[in-house]
A and B are shown apart, each in its own frame.
Chain A
Amino acid sequence: MEIDREDGRTPNQLRPLACSRNILHRPHGSASWSQGDTKVLAAVYGPKAGTKKNENAEKACFEVIWKPKTGQIGKVEKEYEMIMKRTIQSICVLTVNPNTTTSVIIQVVHDDGSLLPCAINAACAALVDAGIPMKHLAVAICCCLADNGYLVLDPNKLEEKKMTAFAYLVFPNTTLSVLPEGSSVAEGEPVEHGIITSVTHGVMSVDDYFLCVENGRAATASLSAFFRKNFQQSQKDSSKAG
């Protein structure tokens, strides 16, 4: 029994992705990421000297500034800032530039559902554009649960409102390596199956949550492939120009 989505997508189908990097000149790195109609602009400044108070001076520090499309900054934005800061801290190599602060500014251009995952993907692309050293990328996806128990990926705003529960999941990107399988395994599972960040809204059963995680993992493969293709494309372009 299939669930009918208004835009005709299958439950596991993502919206069309678009990413462009190096679109702003002043920031050291910038990217715009859109999933369907949800569009987010990310800019990275840094590393700058000095860390903030209460931060560890032996490591690099990150600060995230979230600017909504309209309205004042409230608790929602503060929560997004904290989630993004901790996610970025876990994917970046903090020991390379100790005692520095890197600022990531997120500007919401349009919100049509799945906003936080879109912002995390945009921030990753902007960090790559700025050349900040990272261990791996953070690939973010939104899975939601309808009342008849069906799982849907990458909902738009109307779908998000109708769903009983949704989960924002962030995974490391899938690796494409020449090393034999089994070399990048932790606890019996490939490294890319670990969850970096998970934020859920609404009540769901524990089994449904595991199902969301499974589907999310499967979707990261296509998102990682998109990231890879996008970065390789711009590399080829810049090598042609240079």
Chain B
Amino acid sequence: MAFQAEDLNLEATELRLGLPGTKETEQQKTNNKRALPVEPESNASSAPKPPPSKAQVVGWPPVRSYRKNCFQAKNTDGESSGMFVKVSMDGAPYLRKMDLKVYQGYPELLKSLEDMFKFKVGEYCEKELGYNNRSEFVPTYEDKDGDWMLLGDVPWEMFFTSCKRLRIMKGSEAKGLGCAV
């Protein structure tokens, strides 16, 4: 079990100070591979980037969901930490997280989903109880009972308090659920 010097490949683990953009950052990037979701390009060149947004790394800090939920419930003032739910889209390699608190209603939420995942779902049409666009995508959410519900059926407040996660369904699974067509 001897650790031979040549096996250690010391250069690979050599620690150096350096500005971002030098080799050291390369190594960090390797560590980083699938850690953090890609941020939208909006203000790429503006002043110091915030640290990899803690809120966006799923499951970090490693705090039990029970505890997280307790504190989210407690933060009712302006400094609220938000109500983050996971968002998945069928076919996408990784999930995202969204803060439902920043939205006032369905139209905003849907627009945001469309921007985030680059798809179109159209508008929820009450008369037809579904989405009237011929999109193959249907926005759904999982409620407290573990059931998958169509986004938009219930009043926003009710949705907000019962939504555990979002899922953009596509293809055959979506048929019969949201398309009035």
Instruction: Say whether A associates with B.
Output: no
